């Protein structure tokens, strides 16, 4: 489970995908498969969550990694590059961005 706190050295990655209602479910299926079969098994992976908006035009992905290097190694692997090519075919764009947690509430 994701644990959001500013008192950690973990790397947070937020990725947004722009999709269409016609491709959103197919894209979600690919992302779920990628997390289940590959990403979640990579060194440094902690947790992730997938979110979709009501219009099914955007998917947001929140993931946590032990370090920036662990995330980058997964992203640069041959397997993830091949998966990202398939993912890219189903969305208008996607962009992973690394963040540091600076404050939490609640």
Tens-of-pLDDT digits for all 106 residues of the chain? 777 888 788 999 999 999 999 999 999 999 999 999 999 999 999 999 999 999 999 999 999 999 999 999 999 999 999 999 999 999 999 999 999 889 988 8
State which H helix or E strand residue 64 sits in: strand 58-65
Quickly count: other Cβ atoms within 10 Å of residue 10's Cβ.
20
CATH number at residue 36: 3.30.70.100
The whole domain housing 81 covers: 15-99
- In-domain check, residue 1: no
Please give the structure tokens belonging to residue 60: 């947001």
- In-domain check, residue 91: yes
> pTM of the full predicted structure?
0.90
- In-domain check, residue 3: no
């Amino acid at each position: 489970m994701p644990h959001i706190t500013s008192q950690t050295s973990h790397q947070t990655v937020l990725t947004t995908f722009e999709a269409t209602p016609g491709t959103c479910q197919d894209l979600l299926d690919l992302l779920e498969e990628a997390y289940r079969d590959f990403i979640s098994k990579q060194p440094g992976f902690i947790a992730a969550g997938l979110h979709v908006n009501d219009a099914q035009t955007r998917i947001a992905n929140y993931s946590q990694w032990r370090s920036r290097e662990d995330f980058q190694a997964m992203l640069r692997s041959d397997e993830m590059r091949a998966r990202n090519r398939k993912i890219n075919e189903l969305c208008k764009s996607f962009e992973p961005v690394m963040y540091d947690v600076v404050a939490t509430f609640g």
